[in-house]
Structure 1
């Protein structure tokens, strides 16, 4: 009997605490980042190439298994802090008219990134997976779990965030909460919703 174990590269815990898996991903991504930091700082490599390195070598390490994550506020903050650290390494500071330098602001980094942030990508991945689950056959175990209505007594005090709750919260921000499972059955409509989620401007 164990309290946790690694299965297919992801940490599985007895209390289903995905924050510990996210922290584990953070440790792995730091190793990947320090492995290419010298390259990201090099003035001989174009910024576009550095961004490609980040998106192909570092991001996949971070986002492995993100479709099943239940992210707390501190998890999202940690993801944002790391991404901004990498982007500041890539783009450097801003030289002022008086010759001094300053750090780039968060919205400036987001504009230079030219795409969804880590947190946005994780949320869109969850929505994409939710759409796949809804379109599965009725006897598929994954879909049966999604539509299952367990009985019992929940613990006192604040309740832990559930995956489906965060899916619905994200859909509320897109004003697409009502009838979202029916919408997910239409691949074209669901892809349009995912595109809206990816292109929405959110500064972490």
Structure 2
């Protein structure tokens, strides 16, 4: 192991991160507050805000690279939306299976979805057209959050049925007291709400029946966000 290529990070809910001193052959390893691992950006606060912001920025950058195609009015809007789904959305949604989608995160993702459509239709913000009008002109509805939730639910069901380490990490009950203030939303809580599955434990139980779980996902997609 080369110490120059090795870094460490503490994941904690505390505002002031603990300072750790880990040495390899007398050299102290550099402590980071975030780093990329296999693509996604992992932050020391355990949240995915930075990763979502990074994904949005990357998606917009790649949209600009394909601007001549995606904003070409000689190509039907349906074909351009299909190109967006094939080339831009995978960049935006990479690793979304592990995202916890708070209300703030959802607003950012929905704003990004509308950012794409407005530019594809070449409609400026000064035109004062509502989002509903934009969706009507693009012959579509809000789909991004449902796509993300569908991917999350499909992956979550697979993890729960597999009953391996990922299952244990997700379902384990830790001892100790809850911290003060509002508790962080958990991925399973957001999924249970989207699926209309009741409480988290009920959603986990539902994953055992693959057919039932697929039906629940399909119904949630039909109902939209």
TM-score by length of 1: 0.83
Structure 2 counterpart of 1:183, from 206, 209, 217? 206
- Could you say if the C-alpha distance between residues 10 and 196 of structure 1 is closer, same or farther in structure 2, counting changes exceeding 3 Å? same
Specify the alignment match of 2:44 in structure 1: 14
Note if 1:117 corresponds to 2:143.
yes
Specify the alignment match of 1:135 in structure 2: 161
Note if 1:88 corresponds to 2:118.
yes
Structure 2 counterpart of 1:57, from 73, 83, 87? 87
- Pick the structure with greater CA Rg: 2
Note if 1:42 corresponds to 2:42.
no
Deviation at 1:61, TM superposition (A): 0.5
- Could you say if the C-alpha distance between residues 134 and 71 of structure 1 is closer, same or farther in structure 2, counting changes exceeding 3 Å? same
Are 2:106 and 2:145, in contact at CA under 8 Å, matched by a contact in 1? Answer: yes
Q: Give a deviation string over 1:75-126, Cα, whole Å, max 9, x none.
A: 1111111111211233456xxxxxxx76353376178454661112112222
Q: How many residues are treated as equivalent by the alignment?
A: 190
Task: State the distance in 1 between where 2:139 and 2:218 align.
Answer: 17
Note if 1:201 corresponds to 2:224.
yes
Task: State the distance in 2 between where 1:118 and 1:24 align.
Answer: 17
Are 1:116 and 1:199, in contact at CA under 8 Å, matched by a contact in 2? Answer: no
Are 1:84 and 1:106, in contact at CA under 8 Å, matched by a contact in 2? Answer: no
Specify the alignment match of 1:150 in structure 2: 174
Are 2:114 and 2:131, in contact at CA under 8 Å, matched by a contact in 1? Answer: no
SS in 2 for 1:55: helix
Structure 1 counterpart of 2:100, from 70, 73, 77? 70
Q: Which has the higher contact order (CA 8 A, sep 6+)?
A: 1
